[in-house]
Every structure is written in C-alpha cells, then in structure tokens.
Amino acid sequence: MSNIIAIALNKLDADPKNVRKTYTKESIESLSASILANGVIQNLVVRKASKGRYLVTAGGRRLVALNLLAERGEITADYAVNVIVREASDATELSLTENVMREAMHPADQFEAFRALFDEGKSIKDIAARFGTTEIIVNRRLALAKVSPVLFAAFRAEDMTFEQLCEP
C-alpha cells in the first residue's frame, strides 16, 4: 500500500538504492525551469529513513532540481513535496522501473503540444524555457505545420524519418 504525503524538501535525501546516479547539468537546469513554472508534476517515491528523514528512491533528478531551486532562493528549503511512501524492500525495483519503462515523447506529439501552446499565445522563447529545450527545437517542431497531413501521418507512423519529412 502506498501513502501520498507532503514532506519538506529539507527532509529528503538521495537514496543509495536509486539506480540512476548520473544527471547532466543541462537536464537539471531544464527540469528546474519546468518545476519553477509548473511545480512537481510527478510525485517522488520515498522510503522512511531515520530521524524523520526520507530517502528518494524514484525521483532523484527531481530532488536535485528542487535542491538547485532552493540553493538559488527560488523556493524555500521547506518547500512541500508530494511523495509516495513505499517499503525499503521495493526501492531498487521501483527505481529501475521508473527509469527503464519511460519513453520519450514522439516529435509529432511534441509538435502538436508546442503548436497548441503557441496558438494560445505563448512565445517560442517561453515554450523553450518552460520545457528545457532550445528555441531551435521549438521552431523545428512548429515547422511541421507546413508539412502535408499525409506526410505528417507517415512520420507519426514511423514510415518516414524527421530528416525525410523536413527535406526541402
């Protein structure tokens, strides 16, 4: 059984059982920007430690990004973080599951989402900043609007590569 509770950021520590040990600086920066704009969308998974502390089993990258925001003074050290509390015996498997079972978003889906934000009045610069990408990537995704719907469907079905789709 899982319990969802809010825990102060300064009560969370990295879990040695978290299987992901490596993060890029760019990844943390972009995730920090996203968290600052939208909050933490996906709960961290923790296990109880000693003295009222919790170890982050799944969500280590989110923890690093939150700590960066706290160091910069953009959130408080006691910022409330929603977590799912699980047993220590599940830690390695849960951490591995979270990291192995994820799939990157298809560029066609990203195009449609970026296009919806752009149509709502968000600037390319703002879209890029909020989603940890470059303005070039946002412009490339938005350029898909000029492509024939038939070709776009072939791209979504993976019958064409992005390069083939964007050839002049």
pTM: 0.74
pLDDT for residue 104 is more than 80: no
CA atoms lying within 13 Å on the CB side of residue 60: 20
CA nearest to 91, candidates 6, 8, 11, 13: 13
Give start and end residues of each alpha helix (H) in 39-120: 60-71, 91-100, 107-119
Give the count of beta carbons closer than 10 Å to the beta carbon of residue 150: 8
Q: What is the pLDDT of residue 15?
A: 93
What's at 89, amino acid-wise? S
Q: What is the pLDDT of residues 51-63, one digit of tens each?
A: 999 999 999 999 9
CA atoms lying within 13 Å on the CB side of residue 3: 7
